[in-house]
Structure 1
Amino acid sequence: MIVVIWNPSIRKSVSIVIPNVLPYSRYGYTLIGFGVCPDDTSHPKLVKINVNKIKIPYTWVVEVCTLSTRVWKTVYMGAPFKSCDLMWDPVYIDGIIYCHTVRFDERLWSNYIISFDLKREKFGEVSLSERLARAYDLVVAKVNESLCFLEYYNEGETSVCGVWTKKDGINKPFTKIYTVKVEGKSVLLGFRNNGEVVLEMEDDNDKGYAVEVYKPSSGDINGDGINGKYGGFSAVSYMETLLLLHESYSIIH
């Protein structure tokens, strides 16, 4: 597998070979994360986690590649947590990669959020309330550079998404800051700087999906004229940077 890191600000990219990738199956899989080390060097790093599910507890092999050295190194081998499945789409915030996991314990399941510190190259865990730990449909996300959780559920025919984050510091509990209620099937894609919510919504004629903008203050929904298939949209925040300016275009093995 080859991963391409591209910086659109300077129109430059670097290709990196990911070795020993496990195809997704009942026996295991590979998860890839990317972020920038929060120190004076600002080194970009790739993190690869190979999960082996053949035996319980599941065993992990964790490798890190730093662009400055262009070398993959193993930083962990073992079972850091009880048997759990890592979800896709990890989130990077301020030097830490967060990943949603579902853990099974005595026939019960719970949501857990695992963190990986790029500077220390160590695992951690985010504390969740009982409600979030037991939420049936929970998604980890980034809103305004902060860690958030999207809790999806239905109230009759209305699709509801609760947005949870920490408002007053890292040691405070997560609280709900938004409740998005819309008619029909929808997925929250992101937030504008003015607080408006960008949604992927099923259209009225059930012919496809469209990008819509929801205003929490009034509950109004306006279309942007962007249409497509379910799961075909994504929206992420970005920051202009000179990252990769001094990197060569060669493939990193």
Structure 2
Amino acid sequence: MMAVIWNPSIWKSVSIVIPNVSHYPGYTVIGFGVCPDDTSDPTLVKINVNKIKIPYTWVVEVFTLSTRVWKTVYRGTPFKSCDFRWHHVFIDGIIYWNTVSSYEGLWSNYVISFDLATEKFGEGSLSERLLSTNDLGVAKVNESLGLLEYYIEGEIWVCGVWTKKDGVNKPFTRIYTVKVDGKSGLNNVLGFRNNGEVVLGMEDDNDIGYAVDVYEPSSGHINGVGLNGKYDGFSVRSYMETLLLLHESNSIIH
């Protein structure tokens, strides 16, 4: 496994070989962020999950570009025996994953965080509704942590967008629902524009194609952007222009 840190603004990239990747019945999940201090140090967080028995065990290592080495920061039984979903977001020095636990038919969602400054894990507080929904995702919404709740309303899939509007210690509040009238295909929220528009991945009515559309929450209108492909073929992330990697040479770190 290899992770590539790439800055398209200056066309510089550094490839990092990921050592000691876990395989079935375990797996490895990777998170990425940039230290929120004067160093702006690109950082990878690797979590090896061992699922041989419950409770699961984790081995957590951190790689910083400045040191070019992997450092073990945690080894043992975590506070939650849950499975990571692969998508994560990075906001203000903290990486967030949505995770899920299924035990005796009961489904529970959790938001697990890792603070790059303290190298400690935390857990986000969720309402009973968000804990038990079958399909929950994390997103960056208006520079804050957001949750995406997918469910069926009538005969179509919709997505409730939740965020913490009044600070990190406040509960999540639903700010609007993405609902495209006349479309029965799954609404897959790919990302959010700064002007509030939502970038969607939308199946066509024949379930054979997939297109990227832009949704306007106040009007409910959608507009295509001319991108078509297969389901799960698109991914959207926020970005900012930076000189990160300016003094790096294109290289592979083993």
TM-score interval (norm. to shorter): over 0.9
Q: Does the C-alpha gap of structure 1 residues 109 and 157 become closer, same or farther in structure 2, counting only changes over 3 Å?
A: closer
Q: Distance in 1 between matches of 2:105 and 2:211?
A: 39
2:188 partner letter: V
* TM alignment of 1:38-57, pairs within 5 A: 38-57=36-55
Map 1:73-84; keep pairs closer than 5 Å.
Answer: 73-84=71-82
Whole-Å separation in 2 of the counterparts to 1:170 and 1:59: 28
> Match for residue 7 of structure 1?
7
CA contact (8 A) 2:94 2:113 kept: yes
Paired AA for residue 120 in structure 1: T
Deviates more, 1:106-115 or 1:226-235: 106-115
1:145 and 2:143 correspond: yes
Of 40, 64, 67, the match for 1:66: 64
Q: How far apart, in 2, do the equivalents of 1:206 and 1:64 lie?
A: 41
Give the letter aligned to residue 114 of structure 1: I
2:130 corresponds to which residue? Answer: 132
> Is 1:95 paired with 2:81?
no
* Contact 1:197-1:213 at 8 Å conserved across structures: yes
Cα distance, 1:84 vs structure 2: 1.1
Q: Tell me the equivalent position of 2:19.
A: 19
| TM-score between both structures, scaled by the size of structure 2 | 0.94
- The aligned residue for residue 208 of structure 2 is 207
Distance 1:251 1:194 in 2: 38
Alpha-carbon distance in 1 for matches of 2:224, 2:105: 43
| Distance in structure 2 (CA, Å) of the matches to 1:105 and 1:230 | 29
Q: Deviations over 1:151-179 (max 9, x none)?
A: 00111122210000011112211101111
| Percentage of identical aligned residues | 77
Indicate the SS of the match to 2:174.
Answer: strand
**Corresponding residue for 2:248?**
247
Report the CA distance shift for 1:64/1:229 in structure 2 as closer, same or farther (over 3 A).
Answer: same
Match for residue 35 of structure 1?
33
What residue in structure 1 maps to residue 224 of structure 2?
223
- Over aligned residues, Cα RMSD in angstroms? 1.4
Aligned to 2:113, the other structure's residue is in SS state strand
Report the secondary structure of 1:87's partner residue. strand
Q: CA deviation at 1:82?
A: 3.1
3-state SS, counterpart of residue 244 of structure 2: coil
Aligned partner of 2:231: which letter?
Y
CA-CA distance at 1:105 after TM superposition: 5.1
TM-score when scaled to structure 1? Answer: 0.94
Q: CA 1:206–1:84 in 2, change beyond 3 Å: closer, same or farther?
A: closer
SS in 2 for 1:244: coil
**Residue identity in the other structure for 1:235:** V
CA distance in 2, matches of 1:62, 1:235: 27
| Structure 1 residue 106, shift from structure 2 partner | 6.0
Aligned residues: 251
User: Whole-Å Cα distance in 2 between the matches of residues 198 and 107 of structure 1?
Assistant: 33
Contact 2:50/2:57 (8 A) holds in 1: yes
Structure-2 separation of matches of 1:56 and 1:206: 39
Equivalent in the alignment of 1:187: 188
CA contact (8 A) 1:184 1:201 kept: no
